[in-house]
Amino acid sequence: MNILADENIDEQIIETLRKNGHNVLYVGEMSPSISDKVVLSKANKMNALLLTADKDFGELVFRQHLISKGVILMRLAGMTPNKKAQQILSIINKHKNEMINSFTVVTLNHIRIRSIN
């Protein structure tokens, strides 16, 4: 699966996803400090899900109606980076088809997948 990881994503998550066969590009390696709109545009051009911890993408997708292939918003405060990595890998592997064209919120106890269309 193609994934664009925002610069606020722990490197352990990126490494874990890559080691498990996902094509992950990382904003921190490509273009640090670019705007959220540019990040979303890059994800669209890559035909990739956007993995982020930034709630502002909800505003861009739902209120400004910017097109998105799909967004995964991580809300996993308090978890170690390694536990986050395993959690995200498991969720992506299990729900990848549902996440396309959806806004997914991952919390410690819940996963909410909402269609963008």
Q: Domain 2-115 is of which CATH architecture? A: 3-Layer(aba) Sandwich (3.40)
Q: Return d(Cα 80, Cα 85) in angstroms, integer.
A: 9
| pTM metric for this prediction | 0.93
Segment 101-116, tens digit of pLDDT: 999 999 998 999 999 8
Question: 40: closest CA among 73, 79, 14?
Answer: 73
Segment 28-54, tens digit of pLDDT: 998 888 999 999 999 999 999 999 999
Phi-psi region of 78 (alpha: psi -120 to 50; beta: other; left: phi over 0): left
- Write down the domain spans for the chain: 2-115
